[in-house]
Structure 1
Amino acid sequence: MIKIISKGSKMTAPIIEAKKVIETLLQESSYDEIIRELAFDRMIKKGLQESKKRKLTIESLF
């Protein structure tokens, strides 16, 4: 498990979401793998939000 130390007593929502993704990865994951997984997670979540609004396009994912 990776501990993320924040400057305040509370973590922000984006940090909490990033922490959840990072905790699913192997300890040996490279920096590039971590960034790729975070980007993939964001694209999936954004796509789901857009599909709920019925505004899904390929361009809206990037």
Structure 2
Amino acid sequence: MPNTTPYERDMRIIYDVLTKNVLVTFRGEIDMLGPFTDQKTAVDAAEDFCRRRGWAG
């Protein structure tokens, strides 16, 4: 089932197709995660990363 909880106001998840990394901006902090095998895996990992930091998504 797809996530329907909106991202927080300044929450950003940006996937880089060249490096296969994902850039996560969450609550004033910027983190780079990866590399990942594909975009869906990267976004899922980034959302989980934010959940562990308090996002209700």
TM-score using structure 1 length: 0.39
**Does 1 or 2 have the higher relative contact order (CA < 8 Å, sep 6+)?**
2
Q: Which protein is bigger by CA-based radius of gyration?
A: 1
TM-score norm. by structure 2 comes to: 0.42
